[in-house]
Amino acid sequence: MTKSDLNTFRAGPDEQGRFGIFGGRFVAETLMPLILELEQAYEAAKEDPAFEAELENLQTHYTGRPSPLYFAERLTEHFGGSKIYFKRDELNHTGSHKINNCLGQILLAMRMGKTRIIAETGAGQHGVAVATVAARFGLPCVVYMGATDIERQKPNVFRMKLLGAEIVPVTSGTGTLKDAMNEALRDWVAHVEDTFYIIGTVAGPHPYPAMVRDFQSVIGIETREQMMAAEGRLPDTLVACIGGGSNAMGLFHPFLDDKDIEIIGVEAGGKGVETGEHAASLTGGEPGVLHGNRTYLLQDEDGQIIDAHSISAGLDYPGIGPEHSWLHETGRVSYVSATDSEALAAFQLCTRLEGIIPALEPSHALSHVGKIAPTHGPDHLIVMNMCGRGDKDVFAVAAHLGTDIEG
Amino acid sequence: MGSRIEERFSETKAAGRAALVTFVTAGDPNMEDSLALIKALPEAGADLIEIGMPFTDPMADGPAIQASSLRALEAGQNMIKTLAMVKNFREGDSHTPIILMGYYNPIYIYGSQRFLDDAKAVGVDGLIIVDLPPEEDQELCVPALAMEMNFIRLATPTTNEARLEKVLTNTSGFVYYVSITGITGTAKPDPDAVSRRVALIKAKTDLPIAVGFGVKTPEQAKAIADSGADGVVVGSALISVMQGHMKRDGKAASTMVPAVTDLVRSLAGAIVN
């Protein structure tokens, strides 16, 4: 399938929860009735103006939406080409785009009468957002987090504890995000009656990829309006980083049918895709089935999942949302990668030139912006999703730069 | 002519007892020791053998089977070796049904049709693929049935009556009733609840029903057999025994096979009575 074959890129998923061959519902039978129930509840909520109104009210007064669209003047000067705008989702309450999805899902959990929340987290941004909404709505919350990630994301672990969440260290497998997701799924199977699983990205069994995308699409919807107000036209290029791909899908989806707009997803290249130590599922992986969906995965020739590597714990996942896999195969979105050291350089550059400390995740996107901006003129408009702030990363960055900030 | 699985359940039914279904992971702790163990199971009383195809991310399994999968993978187990083990077993035993159990991805990567062809050729009788619910039947279930390979489906405590029909539609060989809402080898099944569910499923199908996921002791096995189940599945408990008989170099101690077969014997003995 090529992009010329399609009238729209925004119609998916189909009734089987598929985007082309990707997506689906590859889960154990115990979860299947629950997933069908969730799908029904979500479809009903979408049609309910009261649900929409409550979500919008929380977005405005709790999250602080709309997030600004900011003209990054000094980076624009520095790169000497395209005009660069940041969609400032790092200014949201809790410091990233993750809250957009968590508010939507917890409202759904309440509608479904669920009384217990579980989640997985890698960098801890999603975990913090889940713990936050659980505190706000008074529901007990258990967050599964790889033991390795707990060690490298201590500030977020403490934040979650302050918010009242129980953090369960996951030592099974290799103790990272994929294992945390396995463990959350195991918890869910054992507590199907009362528990709602808030998945943090556009992956997992249908309806999660579509549902999380819908909750994150507020990013792209606002960007359209704000760009029209700022420049009187739509942008030429969109850039966002991709781990599972929720911030990127949120920005991209409302623009998918504007076929003149170039859309670029930036995966984590780790130490370089050629080294094998990376998290670039599309660039360096193959289609497979994990965590309820068919999508591109990092895996060996026997179908065993390979650990991802990235300087950013939030991108450190061996899969990607199924809709991204489909957009990759149809060619509508281009997927590239940026390495750890490129992200680190962009992190420092943005901090010094814009006074914005970005998270390491969008630093990957910014690194790519730095590659393409000089190739265009000032009439070319780029929007990059600044999906998280870097406070959580300062310890890790200090370690990479060889600075001892605790001493 | 029925499949080996159907024949075996007819035999145990005629003998007035439930079948003992044992689960071990292929290649745990290594291919050689694993094959020796599997070959020893029928004589100890295993009526059907489930062989786990190891996967890095066994989402429906508890700690014992997770660890077992990782041990097998570390020792170099893969799909080709698992099929070779079945072939080797079949050369000495043409009666005991072999069921491969696991997750879809290693099969998908091997190639679904190639997998079915090769599995059939080495004498695999049935498949249990945990993450292929009826909604994904076109992936492997329908092609498997077309080749007369049994596709055994899981029914669970969350499978309601309307859904049960959907679950039973493409199921063959037997129905695997998951006795708990949870992962393998964790919670203890409640025989009364199991008995009610087994009766419910029996009202809708003539297929034998095997019950598993939390059965560990001969007493529990007997209680499940008495609940009306046609088969009792034991896995994690066998693997836990194996774990106590492994040496530091990853090889099985000479005591491993006898220790596991002792448990199998006592399980088999319990459900005969």
Shared-domain flag, residues A270 and A390: yes
**Backbone dihedral angles phi then psi of residue A180, each to the nearest 5 degrees:** -60, -40
Q: Across chain B, how many H-helices and E-strands are there? A: 12, 9
Residue of A nearest to B130 (CA): A28
pLDDT of residue B272: 84
Helices A154-162, A125-137: crossing angle, 10 deg rounding: 10
Cβ distance B104 to A289 less than 8 Å, yes or no, reads yes
Shared-domain flag, residues A227 and A305: yes
Give the integer Cα–Cα distance in Å for A310 and A295.
20
- Do B156 and B186 form a contact (C-beta atoms < 8 A)? no
Find which of A15, A25, A30, A300 to mutate to test the B interface (most B CBs within 10 Å of its CB): A30
- Do B212 and B232 form a contact (C-beta atoms < 8 A)? yes
Mean pLDDT of A35-56: 97
Cβ distance B136 to A185 less than 8 Å, yes or no, reads no
Shared-domain flag, residues A143 and A163: yes
pLDDT-above-70 percentage for chain A = 98
The DSSP secondary structure of A309-367, one letter per residue, reads --SSGGG--S---HHHHHHHHHTSSEEEEEEHHHHHHHHHHHHHHHS--B-HHHHHHHH
Question: Residue A5 — very low, low, confident or very high, per pLDDT cuts 50/70/90?
Answer: low
Shared-domain flag, residues A207 and A325: no
3-state class (DSSP) for residue A81:
coil
3-state class (DSSP) for residue B134:
helix
Shared-domain flag, residues A192 and A252: no
pLDDT tens digit sequence for A194-234: 999 999 999 999 999 999 999 999 999 999 999 999 999 99
Q: Does residue A312 belong to any structural domain of this protein?
A: yes
Quick one: which of A68, A72, A86, A54 has its CA closest to A359?
Answer: A86
Cβ distance A289 to B78 less than 8 Å, yes or no, reads no
Q: Does residue A7 belong to any structural domain of this protein?
A: no
pLDDT of residue B56: 96
Residue range of the domain that includes A317: 66-95+217-401
Tokens representing B23? 């689960």
Shared-domain flag, residues A243 and A343: yes
- Looking at the predicted structure, is the pLDDT value of residue A1 above 50? no
Single residue among A153, A180, A212 that ends a domain in this structure:
A212
Contacts of A108 (CB under 8 A, 6+ apart): A38, A41, A42, A45, A196
User: B6, B47, B50, B230: which is the annotated catalytic residue?
Assistant: B50
- Do A279 and A268 form a contact (C-beta atoms < 8 A)? yes
Terminal alpha carbon distance of chain B: 30
Cβ distance A186 to B158 less than 8 Å, yes or no, reads no
Cβ distance B58 to A286 less than 8 Å, yes or no, reads no
Quick one: which of B110, B251, B59, B103 has its CA closest to A173?
Answer: B59
- Do A269 and A280 form a contact (C-beta atoms < 8 A)? yes
pLDDT of residue B181: 86
> Count of domains in chain A?
2
pLDDT tens digit sequence for B69-108: 999 999 999 999 999 999 999 999 999 999 999 999 999 9
Q: Across chain A, how many H-helices and E-strands are there? A: 16, 14
Shared-domain flag, residues A313 and A250: yes
pLDDT of residue A151: 83
- Looking at the predicted structure, is the pLDDT value of residue A403 above 90? no
Single residue among A212, A228, A245 that ends a domain in this structure:
A212
Shared-domain flag, residues A229 and A334: yes
Shared-domain flag, residues A189 and A303: no
Cβ distance A26 to B55 less than 8 Å, yes or no, reads no
Quick one: which of A36, A300, A317 has its CA closest to A182?
Answer: A317
**Mean pLDDT of all residues belonging to chain A:** 95
Q: Does residue A3 belong to any structural domain of this protein?
A: no
Q: Does residue A260 belong to any structural domain of this protein?
A: yes
Shared-domain flag, residues A232 and A326: yes
pLDDT of residue A349: 98
List residues bridging with A268 in a β-sheet: A338
Domains observed in chain B: 4-272 (3.20.20.70)
Which of B108, B159, B178 has the CB atom closest to A33's CB atom? B159
Question: Residue A80 — very low, low, confident or very high, per pLDDT cuts 50/70/90?
Answer: very high
Min distance B43 CA to chain A CA atoms (Å):
32
More confident residue, A108 or B213: A108
Shared-domain flag, residues A27 and A85: no
Is the ipTM beyond the 0.90 threshold? yes
User: B28, B61, B118, B137: which is the annotated catalytic residue?
Assistant: B61
Which of B59, B60, B133 has the CB atom closest to A32's CB atom? B133
Tokens representing B237? 């408990």
Give me the CATH number covering residue A70: 3.40.50.1100
In which residue ranges of chain B is pLDDT below 70?
Answer: 1, 273
pLDDT of residue B273: 61
Cβ distance B131 to A292 less than 8 Å, yes or no, reads yes
A305 touches chain B (CB under 8 A): yes
Shared-domain flag, residues A273 and A203: no
Mean pLDDT of A164-174: 92
Give the integer Cα–Cα distance in Å for A245 and A289.
17
Q: What are the CA-CA distances from residue A246 to residues A84, A204, A237 (Å)?
A: 21, 12, 18
Q: Does residue A123 belong to any structural domain of this protein?
A: yes
Give the integer Cα–Cα distance in Å for B20 and B77.
26
Min distance A294 CA to chain B CA atoms (Å):
9
Tokens representing A203? 């992956």
Single residue among A212, A231, A248 that ends a domain in this structure:
A212
The single-letter DSSP state of residue A290 is: E
Q: Does residue A270 belong to any structural domain of this protein?
A: yes
- Do A328 and A264 form a contact (C-beta atoms < 8 A)? no
Q: Does residue A4 belong to any structural domain of this protein?
A: no
pLDDT of residue A314: 84
Tokens 């008495």 belong to residue:
B226
Residue of A nearest to B128 (CA): A28
- B74 classed as catalytic: no
Give the integer Cα–Cα distance in Å for A37 and A27.
14
- B50 classed as catalytic: yes
Q: Does residue A406 belong to any structural domain of this protein?
A: no
